[in-house]
Amino acid sequence: MVPRSPSRTHYDVLEVAPTASLAEIRRAYREKSKLYHPDTTTLPLAIAREEFHRLNEAYAVLSNPEQRQWYDLQLRLRLQSKQASPMGIGSSHRRPQESGRSTAMLSEDRPLSPGELFALFILGMTFVGCLVLAVIVGLSQQGQEWILQIVSYISELG
């Protein structure tokens, strides 16, 4: 009888390594489908149908490059969350520091989005602009008078 564990991955179902090629996945699927197909198996019909369904699901995901990439990402995230809480404690029971550490690990795995890059660019330009303005005001003889005029204008408004 085949173990029916919900923690089995699609790779476990097909009995292939996560680095398996598409040809290896196809070969494993064909071999397993002969074993579990309800028309050709010696297993009880309910078990054969369940395993054949899992087999088809695993093959559908692993034979599609985009779905496989997404599935692999989910497996890595699940593995990282298990490493962050080795005793199986849920994320709602974690202390804030542990949750922050887990989030930091996730952010290292992805590139910055265009919006994030733009925000960093604007932040950098603002910083450079402030530095240039500070240098100009500091070097200027009239800089002190200019600052006093701005301060007095602001105090008159308030």
What span, in angstroms and rounded, lies between the C-alpha atoms of 132 and 153? 23
Question: Phi, psi at residue 53, to the nearest 5°?
Answer: -65, -45
Share of the chain above pLDDT 70, in %: 78
pLDDT tens string 118-136: 999 999 999 999 988 887 7
CB 16 within 8 A of CB 28: yes
Nearest to 102 by CA among 89, 116, 115: 89
Identity at 109, one-letter amino acid code: D
What span, in angstroms and rounded, lies between the C-alpha atoms of 153 and 75? 61
CATH of 10-108, one of 3.30.300.30, 3.30.420.40, 3.40.50.300, 1.10.287.110: 1.10.287.110
- Average pLDDT of the chain, as a whole number: 79
